[in-house]
Amino acid sequence: MNGEWKAFKLDELGFVGRGKSRHRPRNDPRLYGGRYPFFQTGDVKAAELYLREHEATYNELGLAQSKLWQPGTLCITIAANIAESAILTIPGCFPDSVVGFVADPNLADTKFIKYRLDTLKLAMQAASLGTTQDNLSLDKLLRFDFLVPPLPTQQRIAAILSAYDDLLQNNTRRIAILEEMARRLYEEWFVHFRFPGHEEAEFDGDEEERLPKGWARTGLYDVADVVYGHPFKSGLFNTDGQGLGVVRIRDVIADRASASTTEEGKPQHRLSNGDILVGMDGAFYLGRWAGGDAWLNQRVCCLRPKPWMPRHLLFQTVASPIKRLEETIVGTTVAHLSARDMKQMQIVLPDQRGLDLAMKHLEPSYGQILTLKRKNANLHAQRDMLLPKLISGEIDVSGAEELLEAAE
């Protein structure tokens, strides 16, 4: 790093302000259902680089007690999900649990500041620990130093890192399209029974239990091998890559093990790409693993279809019953999915012709999704390796073309 890099507080690099949600109670239904996007901390956490997806909208009354922030605003969470950040791509509102940063165009590049925040996340989360509810607060946020180079260097660094994020988002959109196409085909053929030739098909059972002749309701264990995770010792977990990754509930959707271990599990606990995973505490995440060889940790189970059962058919078939269990199981503090719940799960098994249709028309999309998810896992790894080196000035970006080509 050379002497051109200087330390600034965030409010010295642009405007900083908290979101607004003055009305009480905040969940008053009179505020919602309009045309103004309302971004909450969970929306920011779910975003990669750009923030456009939202679960709620404000109406005119909601907007009147809030504030409409413009595209290009960097949103930073200071409560619930601490120090997550993403850049608005559309005008939107957010509550005071989110801070908005609008960069001074002569001093700071918004993307660079977002990436600098990523490197400060752990320190900010540590500063947020409280006795009741973790909270970063605007005051604490403004105490942090942001070490930044001259603007042209910021822009080159941001261009390299955002090239990776753009590829990640493009792949994610392609995955979503493939998943939606597969889901619709599955529902059309295997839920509503409008498969090719259904007009001539005979059906058995009453209206609720009605199935095409030759199809059956059967248990999950009849169509898949269900493997429950090993209780690896958390005291042996590390984040420096020693040993093999350990897949915990938080990792099911991310396709990246957030910790590793040198402890050995049994052969059945070793995951490979394509395994179907289910988180069994809190959110019952359902995912297709694409993070390479890893260990299956406790409270995560793996569904491996029998040789004759198409993977994508199994994945789609268990999605609805797992979702219903998530909505109905209530524990004392957190919902738990048990082995007993899995053993009692009933699914619809088509006849051989239905299995052949699934293999021909659903299985290829599973492979395409898996390939894209694997690409994303590799892109994440490359980006995460480059991020601290670029943001600290360890890598010279005067000739950024080679680094940009590596992301393509």
- CA–CA distances in Å: residue 2 to residues 5, 61, 153, 281: 6, 51, 12, 48
Tell me the pLDDT of the chain averaged across its residues. Answer: 92
Q: Please check the confidence at residue 309 and state whether its pLDDT lies above 60.
A: yes
Percent of the chain with pLDDT over 70: 94
- In this prediction, residues 23-31 reach a mean pLDDT of 91
Q: Please check the confidence at residue 29 and state whether its pLDDT lies above 50.
A: yes
Query: Which residue is associated with the tokens 């040789």?
Result: 307
Domain extents for the chain? 6-148, 151-209+352-408, 216-349
* DSSP string for residues in 81-103: STT-EEEESS-BB--TTEEEEEE
What is the pLDDT confidence band of residue 403, given thresholds at 50, 70 and 90?
Answer: low
In the DSSP assignment, the letter for residue 242 is -
* DSSP string for residues in 11-40: GGSEEEEE----SSSTT-GGGEEEEEEE--
**Strand order through the sheet with 74-77:** 14-18, 98-103, 74-77, 85-88, 50-51
Query: In this structure, which CATH number among 3.40.50.150, 3.90.220.20, 3.30.1300.10, 3.30.70.890 belongs to the domain 6-148?
Result: 3.90.220.20
Q: Please check the confidence at residue 373 and state whether its pLDDT lies above 80.
A: yes
CATH of domain 216-349: 3.90.220.20
Q: How far apart are CA 266 and CA 230, in angstroms?
A: 8
The pLDDT tens digits for 79-108 are 878 999 999 999 999 999 999 999 999 999
Per-residue pLDDT, 250: 86
In the DSSP assignment, the letter for residue 191 is I
The pLDDT tens digits for 209-248 are 899 999 999 999 999 999 999 999 999 999 888 999 999 9
Question: How many Cβ atoms are within 10 Å of 8's Cβ, its own excluded?
Answer: 16
Q: Please check the confidence at residue 322 and state whether its pLDDT lies above 70.
A: yes
Q: Please check the confidence at residue 131 and state whether its pLDDT lies above 50.
A: no
The pLDDT tens digits for 340-369 are 999 999 999 999 999 999 999 999 999 999
Per-residue pLDDT, 136: 84
- Matching fold, domains 6-148 and 216-349: yes
- In this prediction, residues 153-180 reach a mean pLDDT of 95
pTM, two decimal places: 0.85
**Are the C-beta atoms of 302 and 288 separated by less than 8 Å?**
no
Per-residue pLDDT, 399: 62
What is the pLDDT confidence band of residue 202, given thresholds at 50, 70 and 90?
Answer: very high
Q: Please check the confidence at residue 407 and state whether its pLDDT lies above 90.
A: no
- In this prediction, residues 53-79 reach a mean pLDDT of 96
Per-residue pLDDT, 326: 83
From the list 366, 363, 280, 295, the residue with the least C-alpha distance to 329 is 280
Per-residue pLDDT, 74: 98
**Are the C-beta atoms of 149 and 11 separated by less than 8 Å?**
no
Tell me the one-letter amino acid at 123. Answer: A
Report the b/e string of 111-132 with b at 16+ CB within 10 A. bbbbbbbbebeeebeebbeeee
The pLDDT tens digits for 388-400 are 999 999 988 876 5
